[in-house]
Structure 1
Amino acid sequence: MEHSKLTWQKSSFSGGGGEQCVEIAEGAGAVFLRESDDPDIITTLSRGNLGTLLRHVKAGALDHPAP
């Protein structure tokens, strides 16, 4: 899928200037994620894998350990 044809949406939690936001788009049976400050790097996930990622993030499973 040509990524320039996707409709990207920024997080409603972006605030301010929006330079460091997560953006998401959907197309061709996949979900695409990117950071607004580096839009050429795009992660492609299935809807199921996105759900798994979000569950892990919400549970803190991907947090860095405290120093």
Structure 2
Amino acid sequence: MHRWVKSSYSGAQGGQCVEWAPDHAAIARVVPVRDSKDPHGPTLTFQPAAWTAFITSIKAGEFQG
């Protein structure tokens, strides 16, 4: 079973929530990501380098509209 961590951008109101399982990345070399509002729904997996690049881009403001 994964320990899921909710994005700090999710806020207390819910809304668009993303969760990821950091412990799994160390074991299986992939990072599982899911919608926290649908925990039994589909899970996407990313290579750790791709996930790191994505998070770095978010922090740099590259996805702000």
Q: TM-score, normalised by structure 2?
A: 0.63
In structure 2, the residue matched to 1:38 is 38
The one-letter code of the counterpart of 1:24 is W
RMSD of aligned residue pairs (Cα, Å): 2.3
Gapped runs of 5+ residues in structure 1? none
**Which structure is higher in helix share?**
2
Q: Map 1:1-67; keep pairs closer than 5 Å.
A: 5-25=1-21, 26-27=23-24, 28-39=28-39, 40-57=41-58
Give the Cα–Cα distance (whole angstroms) in 2 for the partners of residues 12 and 56 of structure 1: 15
Q: TM-score, normalised by structure 1?
A: 0.62
Query: Structure 1 residues 31 and 58 mapped into 2: Cα distance closer, same or farther (>3 Å)?
Result: same
- Which of these two proteins has the greater Rg computed from alpha carbons? 1
Query: Structure 1 residues 55 and 15 mapped into 2: Cα distance closer, same or farther (>3 Å)?
Result: closer
The number of aligned residues is 60
Per-residue CA distance 1:2-46 (angstroms, 9 max, x = gap): xxx000000122212324311010312211111112221111111
Query: Structure 1 residues 30 and 56 mapped into 2: Cα distance closer, same or farther (>3 Å)?
Result: same
Gapped runs of 5+ residues in structure 2? none
